[in-house]
Amino acid sequence: MNSIINKKLIKLNVNGNSKKEIIVELAKLIDEQGRLNSIDEYIEEVLKREELSTTGIGFGVAIPHGKTNAVKVPTVAFGRIKDGVEWQSLDGEPVHIVFLLAVPEKAASNAHLKILAALSRKLMDENFREELLTVNSEEKLIETLETIFANALD
């Protein structure tokens, strides 16, 4: 199976200045890896989910996600926003770290919940969040993230 995340799904300096721009920018990384059937359908699903309630969980982190047939394989893209962006986060703070989750509709019904749970647990660790903000290579970041996602879909 393809890894949930790889170096080409990481952007350490996201260009977007809004929630939607960042979601589109990270969705393009997923699409470029051949993991989507339809980028437009996927983005639409993520934005619809975002309208239901914010995915800005606090601590400068957002975890937007979409579960749809537009996704071929469970995937996570990572983006870092140097100056932060408004995300209507639960704590009112700007977001600097975004994990964009893409899960096929047909995937084990709880695949996205397992990924979210594994990620959310780790994000409670202040040292881990600090590492995400300061890591300067995709390789190092992959090492850190693979430990989280390795067991999420077992």
Active site residue 65: yes
Q: How many Cβ atoms sit within 10 Å of the Cβ of residue 52?
A: 7
CB proximity list for 154: less than 8 A, separation 6 or greater:
none
Distances (CA, A) of 145 to 43, 97, 115: 23, 13, 11
Token couple for 77: 């893209």
Local structure of 115: helix, strand or coil: helix
Q: Of the candidates 17, 26, 16, 19, which has an alpha carbon nearest to the alpha carbon of residue 79?
A: 26
Q: Provide the pairing of β-strand 95-104 with 61-62.
A: parallel
Q: Per the residue annotation, which of 65, 67, 96, 114 is the catalytic one?
A: 65
User: Could you give the CA distance from residue 54 to residue 93 in angstroms, rounded to a whole number?
Assistant: 12
Residues annotated catalytic, as ranges: 65
